[in-house]
Amino acid sequence: MTRLASLEQVPAELRPSYDPAEHGTGIVHLGLGAFHKAHQASLTDLALSASGGDWRILGVSLRSPKASEELAPQNGLYTLIEKGAGGTVARVIGSVSGAICSAGNPGPALDAMAAETTKIVSLTVTEKAYGLDRATHGCDPSHPAVAADLASPDAPQGVLGLLVAALKRRRAAGLAPFTVLCCDNLPENGVLLKGAVADFARRLDPELAEWIAAEGAFPSTMVDRITPAATAATLAEAAALTGAEDLAAIETESFCQWVIEDDFPLGRPDWAAAGAIFTDDVAAFEAMKLRMLNGTHSMLAYAGFHAGLPYVRDVMDDPSLSQLVRRHLAAAAATLPEIPGIDTAEYGAALARRFENKAIAHETFQIAMDGSEKMPQRIFAALAEARAKDVDIRPFAFATAAWARHVSGSTHDCAAYELRDPRAAELSAMVSGKDAAGIAEALREAGFVPAAAAADDGFWAETATILEAMLARPMAEVIAEEAGRG
Ligand code: CS2
């Protein structure tokens, strides 16, 4: 079977309705992973079909060349397989014009970002890659990539270093800054990233920082599409559908949502034609998604993984844990401000159906990754609002205990695993040799726990009690007992 490299190889019904060669590149995307291919690149493909424009995407992988090595020989083409209640739909995406890796060689990525034709630089690099200081809304100079790039700003490897080096070149060339579009699961992601970029620039060149602060557009976004890592089965399915070997194929759910603040001074693709929602109040949508979808995801991932449930769909087949999923969804919903036109009960019911999707093999262990970066906006922010609104905090204590159980590395009722977290070493040292109360006390003091959550004695006492049971007895038993509380 020949490798996918041209649309002529694939059945006509799988091809885009436009000719990719007729559209120039207007977007550079940092973080060429599964999520980008399933979300922004797919919506851009639909926008190009609907309204055209020079909006194809140069994808940049920042760390490993794997994604660019899969896509570049295929001229950016790949199969997107969408699976939902209505069955499976596939198409070949034409919106990616090229793929490169910036690790060890940032020149081509910087040239592309600095080019006048580039109007938008978008990002899906995961929460941990930014080097944000969420408390000050600046950058964290002790973050490894931030520290390295502050020391060698002309050979940047990290996100902030690349953005600032490219913006510096644009300013020197008399060009307007590109719009920076953060598509990671962070609250007010545009505001956070703008603060971090300006702070990073200020440490090198205060005038550049002022220019970025005054002229830069950093719209906030809420992104949503459940996308597991591709497997051999994904690639085999793509080959069967297209008749070509496709090493970059990806599968995802049929649901897709993108809520974007409309602040694109240099223009943008017609993403609204592809179903994106433009609004002035992304923050409310973001809080809803982070606390309901992602918060519940984190809870079910820690509890499910330790109860021997490898996939989210298995969790939903477990009567007790799926009950706790619904409990968490309802508690998270109760912490939210009202969003005009949105019924959070309906949204929660739709989320439960998405988690039940039998066609999607979403690993609990994958979601359990990077808890120190995820817990603050998913669980601790909800806790603070729960206290303010007199909502039962038990679901948040249960989620935190399940995370603490995972951090403890204790494997009395599950196989040994590696703690995948940027702070893994620090967390393991903090909890080592401690009992449940000691672990809860130690985690409470971790720098990434927001002050309001850290100060909540009752919450940590409740967390310690649940953790004690989780450390002493099989997770499945603790889950059943928790569900029995009603
Ligand atoms: C998940 C998200 O891995 C995780 O932490 O919660 O990747 C989730 O699947 C997406 O945000 C869905 O849009």
Give yes or no for residue 252 CB within 6 A of ligand 1: no
Query: What's the rounded Cα separation, in Å, for the pair 260 and 463?
Result: 36
Residue 24's SS3 state is coil
Q: How many Cβ atoms sit within 10 Å of the Cβ of residue 281?
A: 13
Q: What is the rounded end-to-end Cα distance, in angstroms, of the chain? A: 55
Q: How many Cβ atoms sit within 10 Å of the Cβ of residue 310?
A: 15
Q: Where in the chain is the domain with CATH 3.40.50.720?
A: 7-278
Fold type of domain 7-278 = Rossmann fold (3.40.50)
Task: Identify whether the C-beta of residue 360 lies closer than 8 Å to the C-beta of residue 411.
Answer: no
pTM above 0.75, yes or no: yes
Task: Identify whether the C-beta of residue 467 lies closer than 8 Å to the C-beta of residue 439.
Answer: yes
Query: What's the rounded Cα separation, in Å, for the pair 187 and 403?
Result: 20
Query: What's the rounded Cα separation, in Å, for the pair 276 and 385?
Result: 28
pLDDT at 135: 86
**What is the Å distance from ligand 1's center to 291 Cα?**
11
Closest residue to atom 9 of ligand 1, CA basis: 226
Residue 37's SS3 state is helix
- Could you state, in chain order, the average pLDDT of each consecutive group of 10 residues for the chain (486 residues)? 97 98 98 98 98 98 96 98 95 98 97 98 98 94 97 97 98 98 97 98 98 98 97 98 98 98 98 96 95 98 97 98 98 95 96 97 97 98 97 98 96 90 97 97 96 97 98 97 92
Under CATH, to which class is 282-484 assigned? mainly alpha
**What is the Å distance from ligand 1's center to 228 Cα?**
9
88: which residues sit within 8 A by CB, 6+ positions away? 81, 82, 359
pLDDT digits (tens, 9 = 90+) for 235-290: 999 999 999 999 999 999 999 999 999 999 999 999 999 999 999 989 999 999 99
6: which residues sit within 8 A by CB, 6+ positions away? 75, 77
Percent of residues, the chain, with pLDDT higher than 70: 100
Residue 192's SS3 state is helix
Residue 223's SS3 state is strand
Give yes or no for residue 367 CB within 6 A of ligand 1: yes
pLDDT digits (tens, 9 = 90+) for 43-61: 999 999 999 999 999 999 9
pLDDT at 85: 87
Q: Which of 233, 86, 103 is nearest to 157 (CA)?
A: 103
Torsion, Cα of 103, 208, 217, 130 (10° steps): 40
Which of 293, 315, 362 for a ligand 1 pocket mutation test, highest count of atoms within 8 Å of Cβ? Answer: 293
Query: What's the rounded Cα separation, in Å, for the pair 351 and 368?
Result: 18
Task: Identify whether the C-beta of residue 149 lies closer than 8 Å to the C-beta of residue 160.
Answer: yes
What are 463's two structure tokens?
A: 């967390």
Closest residue to atom 5 of ligand 1, CA basis: 367
Give yes or no for residue 294 CB within 6 A of ligand 1: yes
Which of 35, 289, 297, 347 for a ligand 1 pocket mutation test, highest count of atoms within 8 Å of Cβ? Answer: 297
Give yes or no for residue 312 CB within 6 A of ligand 1: no
Query: What's the rounded Cα separation, in Å, for the pair 180 and 262?
Result: 12
282 vs 190, 276, 389, CA distance in Å? 10, 12, 22
What are 473's two structure tokens?
A: 């007895």
